[in-house]
Amino acid sequence: MNCLRKIGFVLGRSAKLFSTSTQNPQKIAILGASGGIGQPLALLMKQSLFVSEIALYDIANAAGVAADLSHIETRAKVTGHTGPDNLKAALDGAKVVIIPAGVPRKPGMTRDDLFSMNASVVADLSRACGKYCSDAMICIITNPVNSTVPIAAEILKKEGVYNPRRLFGVTTLDITRSNTFIAEAKGLDVSKVSCPVIGGHSGNTIVPVLSQCTPSVNFAQKAREELVARIQNAGTEVVNAKAGAQVSGESYSLDFVRSSWRCLEEAECGEVEAKRGQPKPHSGGESGRVVEFGNADIYLSECTLVVAFRWLQMCPNVDELVVASSVVSLLGCVCLSGIDSASGLRFVAPKGSATLSMAYAGARFANSLLHAMKGHADIVECAFVECDVAETEFFASPVLLGSVGVAFAVDVTDRVRGLRLPNGVEKVFGAGKLNEYEIELVKKAMPELKKSIQKGKEFAAAY
């Protein structure tokens, strides 16, 4: 069964733009549109036949991205919306909201680091969706998806508008990677390869179901284990490759940030000085804490948002003066990858994560969803959605998309409901049983997956 319908993108003007299948296109909103994923994602969606308007929102530079995209000769209108005061306008009337906002992984970062940085971003944007476009399909790209989707669900519940059929964690990148790596290993045409991926969207929670790949493929045990490990760690592969051979996780001083964070919390005001290199925190007297950090000085004057300093430490090439009190959200501006909207100063952040492939995956999922919303049948994609599988509230599996969102998770909720691990997973979807190796992968994934889901729920409950 080819369980993944691939929706292509059409470039330029075409008679197909006026076909009956693309009448009444929809407004979509991209939240985090100026970032490394948001910009290429916006470019791809500008080419979609199913889109009438793209509202680009970010804390900085959304107008510039919108102006750039608006010169492309496809029919989707592009509007830019910068800052919280303009979020309502971006969301008003949107039928699909795609959220890549937040900070991507950098070398040396743990999932806990990523969670602490992105959880509040997703919570705030989800709350806005609940207020301004409560009937929209919401597609979460922001990592860690295993936690951010539960956060969004709980926030939408607080707003009284939660519909589990309209909330998706976008795991499509795991499928595109699986298809690509399998095709490379077997010398196949990648456009004809389709391998479902279930579980979650990080590390060992990613479970490629190689036994249900189309066309059928076989791997020796060692080769299979290496392939699965590569799929599970593909994000790290890209992060390290983009960072380059001369950059290590230690270069970003996360250990320093963790150890110094306690003392930096005490500095509610005054000047915080940082320099690139090996950092050594020391007392700065009445003006607050001062940190020596190599060469080029970095100053945060009157820093009332000390957490901004933590972010700044992850941008080791910053060498400009920043006055924190003049920025509405220095934290957000540093998150963005580099543009301080108040002063126009540019940060040079680490080279980042899988931005281009993630943008492609996000656009593919969004186009599949828009296609299904038009009433087209048999549109199936894998996504991290609420379902009752193996005692976990959320699980990534193939889902049949429809005009109301998730029509149903393919054979998961019908055939696996009530199953309990570790007694084994008999069936996850209609293509057949998991083999013993895949069952073990699911068992290993469940503790981490449950922990991540619970962490997201607890954060949202207290937010």
Please check whether residue 18 lies inside any domain of the structure: yes
23, 50 contact by CB (below 8 A): no
- Is residue 345 in a domain? no
Of 335, 364, 380, the one marking the end of a domain is: 335
Q: Which of 201, 282, 371, 376 is catalytic?
A: 201
pLDDT in tens, 3-22: 444 434 433 333 333 334 55
Is residue 434's pLDDT more than 70? yes
What CATH number is associated with residue 223?
3.90.110.10
Distance, CA of 307 to CA of 185 (rounded, Å)? 45
**386-415 average pLDDT score:** 72
The answer on pLDDT for 240 being more than 90 is no
pLDDT above 90 covers a percentage of the chain that reads 55
Does 217 map to a domain?
Answer: yes
pLDDT band of 390, cuts 50, 70, 90: low
Do both 235 and 109 map to the same domain?
Answer: yes
Query: The dihedral of CA 5, 7, 8, 13: what is its sign?
Result: positive
Q: Are residues 166 and 66 in the same domain?
A: yes
Domain boundary, last residue among 335, 364, 398: 335
**What per-residue confidence (pLDDT) applies to 225?**
96
Q: Does 27 have pLDDT greater than 80?
A: yes
- 74 contacts 53 by C-beta, under 8 angstroms: no
Burial class (CB in 10 A: 0-12, 13-18, 19+), 75: middle
Higher pLDDT, 211 or 348: 211
Domain assignment of residue 321, given as a range? 249-335
What would the pLDDT profile of 130-179 be if each residue is shown by its tens digit?
Answer: 999 999 999 999 999 999 999 999 999 999 999 999 999 999 999 999 99
Judge whether 344 lies within some domain: no
Q: What is the DSSP letter of 289?
A: E
- pLDDT (0 to 100) of residue 408: 53
Q: How confident is the model at residue 369 (pLDDT cuts 50, 70, 90)?
A: very high
Give pLDDT, residue 194: 97
| Residues in Cβ contact with 16 at an 8 Å cutoff, skipping those fewer than 6 apart | 10, 22, 49
- 3-state SS assignment for residue 105: coil
pLDDT score recorded for residue 411: 44
Query: Which whole number is the average pLDDT over 356-363?
Result: 98
* Annotated catalytic residue 201: yes
Q: Output 114 or 319, whichever has higher pLDDT.
A: 114
What pLDDT sits at residue 244?
59
Whether 315 and 277 map to the same domain: the answer is yes
Q: What is the pLDDT of residue 377?
A: 85
| One domain for residues 180 and 93 | yes
What is the reported pLDDT for 431?
Answer: 35
The pLDDT of residue 104 is 78
| pLDDT tens track for 301-314 | 333 333 444 444 44
| Model confidence band, residue 404 (pLDDT cutoffs 50, 70, 90) | confident
**Are residues 195 and 299 part of one domain?**
no
Residue 407 lies in a domain: yes
Confidence of residue 243 (pLDDT cuts 50, 70, 90): confident
Mean pLDDT, to the nearest integer, of 59-73?
Answer: 95
Distance between CA atoms of residues 393 and 402, nearest Å: 21
Instruction: Give the mean model confidence (pLDDT) for residues 51-74.
Output: 96
Mean pLDDT, rounded, for 35-57: 97
Which position has the higher pLDDT, 438 or 335? 438
At residue 116, the pLDDT reads 83
Q: Which residue has the higher pLDDT, 118 or 416?
A: 118
State residue 348's pLDDT score: 33
Query: In this predicted structure, what is the pLDDT of residue 304?
Result: 33
**301 is a domain residue:** yes
Mean pLDDT score of the chain, rounded to an integer?
74
The rounded distance, in Å, linking the Cα atoms of 383 and 395 is: 8
**Domain closes at, from 335, 370, 400:** 335
Reduced to 3 states, what is the DSSP secondary structure of residue 437?
helix
Residues 365 and 269 reside in one and the same domain: no
Task: Check residues 263 and 240 and name the one with the higher pLDDT.
Answer: 240
Same domain, 309 and 412: no
Q: Per the domain annotation, does 22 fall within a domain?
A: yes
d(Cα 130, Cα 463) in Å, to the nearest integer? 15
**Helices (runs of H) and strands (runs of E) counted in the chain:** 14, 18
pTM: 0.73
* In a domain? residue 32: yes
Task: Specify the number of domains making up the chain.
Answer: 2
- Over 90: is that where the pLDDT of 63 sits? yes
What's the pLDDT tens digit per position in 83-142? 999 999 999 999 999 999 988 777 666 667 788 889 999 999 999 999 999 999 999 999
